[in-house]
Structure 1
Amino acid sequence: MELKGYDYKDRKKKVEEILDNTDKVNEVEKFPRDEDFTYTNGYKAWAGAIFVDLRDSTTLFSEKDEVKIAKVIRGFTSEIIEILRIDTDGDLKEIGIRGDCVFAVYSAPKKMTFMI
């Protein structure tokens, strides 16, 4: 099977180049900006993530009124994203939506384990 727009021979060369040229891992306090990543460097830093799930969404999705469902989901995701964007230290790496869950990934100053 051929994937349009994907040249596996060129990509094989790129993977071999990465494997041959990556010679060190930089241990850093926080992840660098995306544009600072290259195929010849690696970074090691702690990351933290938060996942905010819409409670009892199964019941919400069983509603017949699709407009009502869309409004609730849009309002929820919009406000959670705005809260997660508050990043005074520049630690935010990514915000995303998976189903009815909004998540964010941040650089973390040290290893921490906790659940709420």
Structure 2
Amino acid sequence: MDGNFKLYNWVTSSARIKEILDQPAGAFEEVAGLPDRDKLTFTNGFYGYCSAIFIDIRDSSGLTSEHKRPTLAKIYRSFISEMVAVLNSDSNVREVNIVGDCVWASYKTTDVRHLNDVFDIVAQANTLLKLLNHHYRKKGISELRIGIGVDYGRVLMIKAGFNGSGVNDVVYMGDVVNRAAHLAHEAGRGWSSKTILVGDVFYSNLNEHNQGLLSSQWVNGLGSIYMGDVINTGMNEWIDNLS
């Protein structure tokens, strides 16, 4: 959100608070899958099901001690640019967001085949790491490690911000978003050497082939999760042939 200066008035602020809190429950509609963001206003919202992918850089703080700021800018710019490109490449994508060095996306997944399509995006993102590291090595830049978290569930989608200012964004609230973020945070570190962690509901909707690419694990605080280092084989072979 781009900031734009407006004086604060506590009288009109109080009126806005009251208006928001007085909104009827019926303004929040139950839907099978999340709609486009242009359906949102400051007075409505949608309950629906979606899949979420979070991708987080491991030990990003260590990069600041290894590289100067111009190189850091190139690392983050290339990582975010191409991860966003992958996340945005499914026709059911609803939102793609950048939060610091983390990128995440939500997808309208109303059919099991949609979840398998999202899993394909996950595999491509994991293979993209190999492509990024190929180019980083050629420039003498430290290779990145990442964690990818994926889950499926119900979410509340609302438009939030300062009404009339142009400063607003779409906010997703629900366990699926928090859980996918938590899975990404845990992936690729400590007890899990695997880059990809998948929630049990998402896993249960995958086809037999995709389920076979993941192994199960019980983790305190997370319950049953599934992990793997799944790749896009065609993309991987192409990277292997790069000079």
TM-score, normalized by the shorter chain, greater than 0.5:
yes
Letter in 1 for 2:10: Y
Letter in 1 for 2:106: V
1:12-27 map, 5 Å: 12-24=14-26, 25-27=28-30
Identity %: 34
Cα offset for 1:60? 1.6
The aligned amino acid for 1:63 is E
The farther-off stretch of 55-64 and 74-83 is 55-64
Write out aligned runs for 1:20-39 (5 A): 20-24=22-26, 25-39=28-42
- The worse-fitting range, judged by mean Cα deviation, of 61-70 and 77-86 is 61-70
Aligned partners of 2:45 and 2:100: how far apart in 1? 31
Any residues of structure 2 matched to 1:1-116 within 5 Å, and which? 5-24=7-26, 25-89=28-92, 91-93=93-95, 95-109=96-110, 111=153, 114=199, 116=227
Q: Which amino acid aligns with 1:9?
A: V
Q: 1:2-48 CA deviation, whole Å, 9 max, x = no partner?
A: xx622222132223223334241311022223332234433211243
Q: 1:64 deviation in Å?
A: 4.2
CA distance in 1, matches of 2:7, 2:35: 30
Counterpart of 2:118 in structure 1 is none
Tell me, what secondary structure is at the counterpart of 1:35?
A: helix
Number of equivalent positions: 112
Residues 55 and 18 (structure 1 numbering): CA distance in 2 closer, same or farther, change over 3 Å?
closer
The separation in 2 between residues aligned to 1:99 and 1:69, in whole angstroms, is 13
Distance 1:18 1:99 in 2: 29
The structure with the greater share of residues assigned to helix is 2
Aligned residue identity for 1:103:
W
Cα distance in 2, alignment partners of residues 17 and 55 from structure 1: 43
1:70 shift after superposition: 1.6
- TM-score normalised by the chain length of structure 1: 0.73
Residues of 2 paired with 1:99 and 1:60: CA distance?
14
Root mean square deviation of aligned Cα: 2.7
AA aligned to 1:76 is: F
- Cα separation, 2, equivalents of 1:47 and 1:8: 37
Tell me how far 1:84 sits from its aligned partner: 0.8
